[in-house]
Structure 1
């Protein structure tokens, strides 16, 4: 069984809560797009934890996967793994898998994101976490993938190629190009930390479905923030609609059994952009 859960509004519909409720009935829970600009809450005893990259369902027996359509900030992901470990929840490589093709958010992505927003005369409300610029590099084939980050040979070679162009881009935006190279040693270490989690998510999912196991795909944001179908230009940098799950995960559309669109009683949206049904009166 293959089920896709997406937000049907502007995000913040409570998708994580629904995934936590349904997750106990699934063998695998997979995140298919977005980055650490989304979040859900995990409550362990009296403690509350905010997670942005590790999929919902962390308290279930399901295997958790981060697909190749997700852009990963390794610092945030490692912090989440360590935070859960401190709460007594061990996130082993048997529990969590990250696709080798997932794009890595580098410090220069974050810097360019901040600089670009500062230069806009009309802000779009970016989270300034480098997500859009990481997707730009994916499209332009200049991305750093997790497989690259974890390779002591490939990562330095790739950075030798990318660093000059990223430095020029930051200078053009009025920033300090030093951010491009100064973090390379740290990121080499992050690659080593995440290397045990590397997997082929598409292969895992198709094998699971072939064997009759249940897969739950979890989207981030909502349909009205979709890069194509949303309220341009106040949208996110990836496709958030249900159909994109198949594309990002490498699972054929005929394998989809259920699509669940999550809505809340009244619509809200975060950041800039139109909210057509906004009530400007007193509450």
Structure 2
């Protein structure tokens, strides 16, 4: 049975949600294996826009089902809001989703902490304020709350009292929600999930099911925001690479393919190194045409040229076997397009960063290629071929618009030319 992982090949916001939604028609299970509500996956169904922050990007009109894995940190209130949005147009769809009770909960306390910590930092890291970092911190420090705790009232009260005691000592009694109010809040959310008939099932129980059918693994953010190998500390707090499928009980060796999604240019949200950032009117024009504003926060994204050293780094780190390129149409009409082909790192030319530290010291070395009037033009095909030659990874699919069906294969492009 086919198993495909789709991850972001840059700093996130590459259009993974639409890409996953396109491929999901061929898979029975769509699995989110990491991340939280700090990034949005935008999909279109019958011309209507949906932004999922937590839910896997399943096809509402077919029989595909979604699974939220233990590597996620889940804001249950946000999750319910997403269910309700889909239920309004697709009644009963919530019962097609399964949640691993081993996943961790993002609490209102975590959101308070997120804001407090950002104000305490000498150099803010650009957090979204959604509580993701503090929830992952609690997970690692063994102070977190797993979702199965919601179904054991005595254990839930005990854990909330313990967590609250510690946090109030750390933050000098600045948290505003009492343990009892938190208990009532979580019990209400549990009741909402039960009303919606959402399933709670572990990856252990699903192991045979997943291995007897087709599974599409949906990553969060992008490789360069991965906690271990991204531009630390300007990263997210979870796994953004294909190895994150281990949280659902899979090995990367069990994957048939790993697709990296990349834009024809590069964007980044928040602080941190960005070697190819463009501060000219061209960068501003690309931002406006590409509607480069965060799906979660609305923040304007930083815009730059395509970064091949970063893509080579992503290929190695996440074992990418194919690319899906998006937003080539945003660059339509430019006479010339710049591409970063290497870095100057302290006087040494590098085609691939050795460590994430190289991104902080990198000075881009550019080449210029001819632009294209449309993505059906020979110059866009040449641009793709240039990327393939430089990275060693073929571009199998091209996205040319926001709608799910606005996808074509490389062969489609060649025929149109």
TM-score range, shorter chain: over 0.9
| Distance in 1 separating the partners of 2:178 and 2:248 | 30
Report the alpha carbon displacement of residue 38 of structure 1 after superposing the two structures with TM. Answer: 1.5
- Secondary structure, aligned partner of 2:99: strand
What is the DSSP-based 3-state SS (H/G/I as helix, E as strand, rest coil) of the residue aligned with 1:48?
Answer: strand
- TM-score, normalised with respect to structure 2: 0.63
| Residue 25 to residue 214, structure 1, CA distance change in 2 (3 Å) | same
2:34 aligns to what? Answer: 33
Q: Distance in 2 between matches of 1:250 and 1:169?
A: 35
Mapped pair 1:69 → 2:64: no
> Given the superposition, is the C-alpha separation of residues 193 and 158 from structure 1 closer, same or farther in structure 2, using an over 3 Å criterion?
same
Structure 1 residues not aligned, in runs of 5+: none
Q: CA deviation at 1:135?
A: 0.6
* Deviation string, structure 1 residues 140-173 (Cα, Å, up to 9, x no partner): 11111110023223211211222211222232xx
Q: What does residue 232 of structure 1 align with? A: 232
| C-alpha displacement of 1:58 | 4.0
Distance of aligned partners of 1:128 and 1:63 in 2 relative to their CA distance in 1, 3 Å threshold: same
TM-score by length of 1: 0.92
Partners of 2:251 and 2:76 in 1: how far apart?
Answer: 29
Counterpart in 2 of 1:248? Answer: 247
SS at the partner of 2:268? coil
Residue 143 of structure 1: aligned partner: 144
Corresponding residue number in structure 2 for 1:92: 94
- In structure 2, do the counterparts of structure 1 residues 210 and 122 end up closer, same or farther at CA, with 3 Å as the change threshold? closer
Structure 2, unpaired ranges of 5+: 283-417
Larger relative strand fraction: 2
> What residue number does 2:3 align with?
2
How many residues are matched?
A: 276
CA contact (8 A) 1:167 1:178 kept: no
Counterparts in 2 of 1:45 and 1:126: CA distance versus 1, 3 Å: same
Alignment RMSD (CA, Å): 1.6
In structure 2, C-alpha distance between the alignment counterparts of 1:199 and 1:137, rounded to whole Å: 23
Q: Deviations over 1:194-244 (max 9, x none)?
A: 35521112431x313432x10000000000001111111110001211122
Describe the SS at the equivalent of 2:239.
Answer: coil
For residues 7 and 202 of structure 1, the distance between their equivalents in structure 2, rounded to whole angstroms, comes to: 27
CA contact (8 A) 2:220 2:240 kept: yes
Q: CA deviation at 1:41?
A: 2.1
1:165/1:56 CA distance change after superposition, 3 Å = same
In structure 1, C-alpha distance between the alignment counterparts of 2:36 and 2:146, rounded to whole Å: 14
- Cα deviation code 1:2-37 (max 9, x no counterpart): 111100100011111111110010010000101001
Determine if the alignment matches structure 1 residue 22 to structure 2 residue 23: yes
Cα deviations across residues 114-151 of structure 1 (Å, max 9, x unaligned)? 00001112110001111111111111111111100232
Q: Higher relative CO (CA 8 A, sep ≥ 6), structure 1 or 2?
A: 1
Q: Distance in 1 between matches of 2:171 and 2:192?
A: 28
Q: 1:111 to 1:58 in 2, by over 3 A?
A: farther
Deviation at 1:274, TM superposition (A): 1.3
